[in-house]
Amino acid sequence: MIGKTKCQTVSELQKKYSEAVGHETKFYQYGDNEIKNGIVAVVAGGGNQTFVLQELVENNINTFVTGITLKNEVSAEAHEFAEKNRINVFGGTHYSSEKFACIAMCQYFEKLGIPAEFIDDEPCFEDM
């Protein structure tokens, strides 16, 4: 998803992201402190893949919010790509970045008269 934020700097955005997920988030500052044109890209869960970041480059976006940002052998190429292309990366865990869709689905089912319950869990902080 590509969206617009009122946050002007990455530090503002990190504060908002941490507040939204309810815990500290991880920030890899590979680019400028300013968010270009207030535009951010968001991929909930595990968006730490080079082909995703390539779309940011093509759309002149320097700020990326996702879930899994752990630096390991699987994501090393994505981190190198982000750093080379000056893309700031935020991680908030796989669970914490995806739970909002699950909550919304429960509300949708309830409107249809289908009982639904979101069962909260603990995030895996090693994802960041």
pLDDT of residue 47: 81
Q: For the chain, which ranges sit under pLDDT 70?
A: none
| Residue range 2-127 in CATH 3.20.20.210 | no
Query: What is the dihedral angle through the alpha carbons of 54, 55, 61, 63, rounded to the nearest 10 degrees?
Result: -70
* Beta-ladder partners of 27: 90
Kindly list the domain boundaries of the chain, sorted by start residue: 2-127
Amino acid at 116: A
| The overall pTM is greater than 0.85 | yes
Query: Percentage helix, strand, coil, to 5, in the chain?
Result: 40, 15, 40
pLDDT of residue 46: 84
pLDDT of residue 48: 84
For 73-98, write each residue's pLDDT tens digit: 989 999 999 999 999 999 999 999 99
pLDDT of residue 87: 98
